[in-house]
Chain A
Amino acid sequence: MVARVWSLMRFLIKGSVAGGAVYLVYDQELLGPSDKSQAALQKAGEVVPPAMYQFSQYVCQQTGLQIPQLPAPPKIDFPIRDSWNAGIMTVMSALSVAPSKAREYSKEGWEYVKARTK
């Protein structure tokens, strides 16, 4: 009797945990359109770091441990996206003019060799 009640309780607890997870996903519309997912990711990016910081402060207060302050990450002012796009465009334009340039250079080279051998 006790074992049956205990197995029923376990099933109910597991079911409620799984059901809660599914409801959370449904409520936050994480598996919905891409706009909602992007908004959820943005919200998580705003909420999670302060929450982690507060939790670490709480743990430090309760346990008396001192977490050393990490140095701030270096700020890189290099515009990676712009230089990547510029690089791609340069490579693609070079590839597009490559056949005509090769023809021009080979013609010039041929003219030069012809002039030298006369």
Chain B
Amino acid sequence: MSESELGRKWDRCLADAVVKIGTGFGLGIVFSLTFFKRRMWPLAFGSGMGLGMAYSNCQHDFQAPYLLHGKYVKEQEQ
């Protein structure tokens, strides 16, 4: 794996971790306010789930070096 590819993987991992932990935290806030009487455990649970999912994704990404990652390109309207 080249150094630039390694750097891109790390960038992808960090961005993924930020999004997943934030999403888990946000969902935890929503469920804590709506169903669980403003307890703290849904926030911890959601953040922990997001962190675990991000870790799992990173692990697969680093252990499968031959998978290609594509970019989404918007279609140009003609």
Contact = CB atoms under 8 A, between A and B. Distances in A.
Contact of A34 (B13, B31, B70): B13
A10 B61 CA distance: 44
A33 B57 contact: yes
Nearest to B72: A39
Contact of B23 (A14, A18, A31, A39): A31
B30 A18 contact: yes
B61 A34 contact: yes
Question: In terms of DSSP, what is the predominant structure of the interface of chain A?
Answer: helix
Interface residues of A, number: 17
B18 A34 contact: no
B44 to A, nearest CB: 17
B40 interface: no
B2 to A, nearest CB: 13
Contacts of B26: 21
Interface of A: 14-15, 17-18, 21-22, 25, 30-31, 33-35, 37-41
Interface of B: 11-13, 15-16, 18-20, 23-24, 26-27, 30-31, 34-35, 50, 53-54, 57-58, 61, 69-70, 72
